[in-house]
């Protein structure tokens, strides 16, 4: 499989699925959702984290030309 070429993470902000996790959990708690809704939510969060880790492992990072040169 060919690796993707992307801009180095030092040139970009981190894109972890933290905002989705926190806001979704607080929303479900506020709505007093049943247990199965929390199970579906945490399954989606697990899929996002697995996808995030997979993306980190299968990318090639390159610097932006002219950024951070000394």
Let me know: does 38 contact 29? Beta carbons within 8 Å. Answer: no
pLDDT at 49: 87
Residue bearing the bigger pLDDT, 36 or 49: 36
pLDDT at 55: 80
Render pLDDT for 10-47 as a digit per residue (tens, 0 to 9): 676 666 778 888 999 999 999 999 999 999 999 999 99
pLDDT greater than 60 at residue 70: no
Confidence grade of residue 66 (pLDDT, cut at 50, 70, 90): low
Instruction: List phi, psi (to 5°) of 63.
Output: -75, 155
Structure tokens at 17: 């699925």
DSSP 24-66: HHHHHHHTT--HHHHHHHHHHHHHHHHHHHHHHHTEEEEPPTT
């Amino acid at each position: 499989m060919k690796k993707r070429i992307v801009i180095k993470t030092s040139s970009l902000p981190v894109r972890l699925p933290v905002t989705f996790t926190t806001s979704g959990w607080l929303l479900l708690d506020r709505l007093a959702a049943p247990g199965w809704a929390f199970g579906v939510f945490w399954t989606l969060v697990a899929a996002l984290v697995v996808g995030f880790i997979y993306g980190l492992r299968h990318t090639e990072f390159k610097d932006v030309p002219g950024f951070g040169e000394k």
